Chains A and B, each alone.
Chain A
Amino acid sequence: MPSGPADTTASNPPVIVCRECGAVSPRLTLPAGSEENCPRCGHRLALSRQSCISPCLALAVAGLIFGLLANILPLLVFNVYGDEQSNRLFSGVISLFAQGYGAVAVLVFLCSMLAPFLRFGGLAWVLGACFFRQPLPALAPLLKLSHWAGKWNLVEVYAVALVVAMARLDLLGAVELRIGAAFVVALFLCSLMLDQWLNPDEVWEKVEDLQ
């Protein structure tokens, strides 16, 4: 059960605004393991749980490493009568550019390479600063950037597209997965768990304290 209103200071306003419907509710001090829900739409407003800093830092660093490997290594190899070609994340972007479809290439580059890098890199920097209590430069801008990058990070969709591409290419010739595809899936899992565990309110409060 929620127990009374929380301490209110300038950096910690007395209210919570529902992200879903905009209703304003008083901010409560939550006992461990309980949550506060919006009285109008039922959306979860706040959840009392363990600090997300160290697990999310681990996920962000792992995501950076997996992302690097997924970018370097080939994802799949396609073979027609002995003639074969491998696919990397970047080769699709280059081929689309070469065929005059620059806009499509930019979209693929943004959603499969740039946004995941900014998302994981930004969070690794900010969470690292929180974990080691170091007031590193550019914490607030990078946290803001990683929030917007998260919206364009479509790496989980890429993992599914690889499955569809396998099925489709199998109709045309021989196709084999390569080790890079495993790192795309690993990146997708990191991305999923990070979205689930990250508590932006906690990170922002820590960043505000560090500055």
Chain B
Amino acid sequence: MTPETAASGFWSDCPSCRKPHAFPSPEAPAIHCSRCHAQISFRKPDAVQRTSALVISGLIFYVPANILPVMTITITGQTENLTIWGGVMELYDSGLAPVAAIVFFASILVPLFKLLGLSWILLALEKTKGIRTRDRVYTAIHTFGRWSMVDVYLLSVLVAVGQLGILASVVARPGAIFFCLVLVLTLFATELFDRRLIWDFPEKAAAVKPKGQP
């Protein structure tokens, strides 16, 4: 078998160890990796349905995550309910613009970018234009997605040190649960999506389309 004929077959790599395996057809059932025994499908199973479901749930929970307060801070009798946005504004008003920018990027921009970016990729799957842009958007989602965890860690640090009785207390609020839900849902949505689909559909459409038609 020359490399050229081998390269024209249906190959897919193991999601865990990346060893390539040959499939008889793209619709062939899943097999087990000969090296690490992980399950391999030619494309991740039901990727579009699973990602869509997770993105839609994420969009729904994004609303309470931003409206409800994530924590209550009490310092020497003064109580303050903070939403995600409130936390950014407070840092900005205190003259800590760079820190405010980090929180704004990680907690507001990144989750929104993940949800809207994935929605766009899912809706535009059968478009032949903008493949490279969508691919870059997916790379960005994959790279920056983890940074939305900043606010959850921040909460865990503040809650840990905010146990000083009447002097200072920090209490978590339900907004934090919705924020975590959005975070986990988008992380799974990114993981369960198969980025090769961005390249598959337009190619299939080009193969089916008869010559001479626009």
Residues of chain A at the chain B interface (Cβ within 8 Å)? 5, 8, 11, 13-17, 19-27, 40-41, 75-78, 80-81, 83-88, 91-96, 99, 101, 103-105, 107-108, 111-112, 140, 143-144, 147-148, 151, 154, 157-158, 160-165, 167-169, 171-173, 200-201, 204, 208
Contacts and interface: CB of A to CB of B under 8 A. Distances in A.
B137 interface: no
Contact of A104 (B35, B102, B180): B180
Interface string B3-29: 110111101110011111110000000
7 interchain residue pairs of minimum CB distance = A92-B156, A26-B3, A22-B196, A161-B153, A78-B161, A91-B160, A17-B13
B9 A204 contact: no
Interface string B159-200: 111111101100110001100100110000001000110111
A24 to B, nearest CB: 5
Nearest to A208: B35
Interface stretch (B54-62, B116-124, B142-150, B206-214): B142-150
B20 A104 contact: no
14 contacts: A13-B20, A16-B20, A22-B200, A26-B7, A83-B167, A83-B168, A84-B164, A107-B180, A107-B184, A140-B36, A144-B38, A148-B16, A151-B191, A161-B151
Given A26-B3, A87-B161, A104-B180, A157 B147 contact: yes
Given A17-B12, A17-B13, A147-B17, 18 more contacts: A13-B19, A13-B22, A15-B3, A15-B11, A19-B18, A22-B196, A24-B8, A26-B7, A27-B3, A76-B157, A78-B162, A80-B167, A85-B160, A85-B161, A148-B16, A157-B153, A204-B17, A204-B18
Contact of A15 (B20, B90, B161): B20
B30 interface: no
B156 A157 contact: no
A154 B17 contact: no
Which of A41, A92, A173 has the most B CB atoms < 10 Å from its CB? Answer: A92
Contacts of B7: 14-15, 24-26
Given A140-B36, A164-B103, A200-B17, A108 B6 contact: no
Contacts of A78: 161-162, 164, 168
B75 A107 contact: no
Contact of B154 (A8, A101, A161): A161
B9 to A, nearest CB: 7
Contacts of B73: 172
A168 B38 CA distance: 44
Contacts of A103: 177, 180
B99 interface: yes
Nearest to B158: A165
Contact of A169 (B16, B43, B161, B200): B161
Contacts of A147: 16-17
Contact of A5 (B3, B94, B164, B177): B3
A154 B99 contact: no
A14 to B, nearest CB: 4
B35 A154 contact: no
